[in-house]
């Protein structure tokens, strides 16, 4: 039998599939939001409580109203939401962000070479505002949540992708496809691994926490896609979904200025989350494989293109300055190639047996 659940937010990219999943499980669902972004995808049986999740007085008034078995906070001032419902709900679930990890936004803080791969929930956190002001606020918020709700469940999100996302990195590729571009710049071969989470997969992670109250009580979880794709794989997957191919032009990170919006950080280091805990405790596995999720996202963006120069492009900070990109790529192509002639040619090591490796000593296989 389902319980009474309040979702603070519930109309955003992950909120819509979360609310749909709660209704499908038989829960009695109310969403608290401003009412400015009503979605036709919200199930009709869901109640709407219109209030400002950033207004402390409005939150207190809502908390003094009907009792809820579970409160899921996805939007607004999380610390104030946690305080408002302290002692007023059986369960509290909250969503935060991975910038809590020391070095996620500034890899140098994590030491030589940047963050460990992968980053587990017990990795060092930002401890001072001087290290990272935003990361420090996130950590303080997490601590406040558990101070008010010791048995809370808190989920750390990476960047989110999918329909309705306000920072759609895939638009950097989709718009170039729609504009007929045939070349695209990547940094250092486009080999950077950067963990993202598809909307339906992240909602699924929250739903598993709802489904397993005892296992998830008092726990913090990383949530993200099972598979981490390189930037180059993201570009190829998005382009293929739209029947397009690119000549990928790899430049050293320092020169690959047009690649910055896809990297979403001033470095080419990897940012990968360890999902062991959420898999072991809650049985998490992706509902939608990342390559299919990217294809869906690409097709959705092509059908619902953001306005040129609009909010999404401003958030991405991609100017789509094709003449400047062409000048950069042409200048790179015109540079003289350095010689690789050595008296003794360096190899890949005698253990390597792939293309270009040591030839077999005996051309015929014998058992």
pLDDT band at 251 (very low <50, low <70, confident <90, very high): very high
| d(C-alpha 71, C-alpha 30), whole Å | 10
Contacts of 170 (CB under 8 A, 6+ apart): 161, 234, 238, 294, 297, 298, 301
User: pTM of the prediction?
Assistant: 0.94
The residues, any chain, with a CB within 8 Å of residue 51's CB and separated by 6 or more, are: 32, 33, 34, 58, 59, 61, 62
- pLDDT tens for 67-87 read 999 999 999 899 999 999 999
* 86-334 topology per CATH: Rossmann fold (3.40.50)
* Among candidate residues 227, 206, 218, 199, the one with its CA nearest the CA of residue 118: 227
Q: Domain boundaries in the chain?
A: 86-334
pLDDT on residue 302: 98
Strands (E), the chain: 4-8, 28-33, 47-50, 68-73, 89-97, 153-157, 159-161, 183-187, 196-198, 219-222, 247-251
> To the nearest 10°, the Cα dihedral for 240, 246, 252, 253?
-50
- CB atoms closer than 10 angstroms to residue 252: 11
Residue 330: its H or E element: helix 322-334
pLDDT digits (tens, 9 = 90+) for 98-109: 999 999 998 889
Segment 24-59, tens digit of pLDDT = 999 999 999 998 878 889 999 999 999 999 999 999
* pLDDT tens digits along 155-171: 999 999 999 998 999 99
Nearby residues of 99 by Cβ (< 8 Å), 6 or more positions away: 105, 126, 132, 134, 135, 138
Long-range interactions of 138-144: CB distance < 8 A, separation 24+: 138/96, 138/97, 138/99, 138/100, 139/100, 140/79, 141/78, 141/79, 141/96, 142/96, 142/100, 142/220, 144/78, 144/79, 144/82, 144/83
Where are any strands of DSSP class E within 230-270? 247-251
């Amino acid at each position: 039998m389902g319980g009474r659940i309040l979702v603070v937010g519930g109309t955003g990219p992950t909120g819509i599939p979360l609310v749909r999943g709660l209704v499908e499980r038989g829960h009695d669902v109310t969403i608290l939001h401003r009412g400015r972004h009503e979605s036709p995808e919200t199930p009709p049986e869901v109640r709407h409580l219109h209030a400002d999740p950033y207004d402390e007085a409005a939150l207190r008034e809502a908390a003094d109203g009907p009792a809820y078995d579970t409160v899921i906070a996805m939007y607004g001032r999380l610390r104030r939401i946690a305080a408002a419902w302290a002692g007023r709900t059986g369960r509290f679930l909250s969503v935060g962000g991975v910038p809590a990890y020391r070095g996620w936004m500034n890899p140098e803080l994590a030491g030589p070479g940047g963050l460990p791969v992968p980053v587990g929930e017990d990795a060092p956190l930002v401890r001072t505002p001087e290290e990272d002001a935003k990361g420090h606020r996130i950590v303080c918020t997490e601590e406040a949540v558990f101070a008010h709700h010791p048995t809370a469940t808190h989920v750390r999100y990476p960047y989110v992708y999918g329909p309705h996302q306000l920072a759609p990195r895939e638009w950097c590729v989709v718009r170039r496809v729609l504009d007929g571009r045939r070349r695209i710049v990547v940094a250092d071969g486009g080999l950077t691994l950067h963990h993202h989470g598809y909307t339906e997969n992240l909602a699924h992670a929250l739903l598993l926490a709802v489904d397993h109250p005892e296992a998830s009580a008092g726990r913090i979880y990383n949530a993200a896609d099972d598979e981490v794709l390189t930037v180059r794989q993201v570009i190829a997957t998005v382009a293929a979904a739209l029947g397009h191919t690119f000549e990928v032009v790899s430049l050293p990170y320092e020169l690959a200025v047009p690649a910055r919006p896809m990297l979403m950080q001033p470095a080419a280091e990897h940012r990968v989350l360890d999902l062991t805990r959420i898999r072991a405790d809650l049985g998490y596995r992706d509902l939608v494989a990342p390559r299919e999720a990217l294809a869906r996202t690409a097709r959705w963006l092509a059908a619902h293109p953001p306005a040129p120069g609009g909010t999404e492009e401003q958030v991405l900070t991609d100017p789509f300055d094709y003449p400047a990109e062409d000048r950069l790529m042409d200048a790179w192509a015109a540079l003289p190639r350095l010689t690789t002639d050595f008296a003794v040619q360096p190899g890949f090591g005698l253990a390597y047996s792939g293309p270009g490796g040591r030839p077999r000593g005996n051309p015929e296989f014998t058992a």
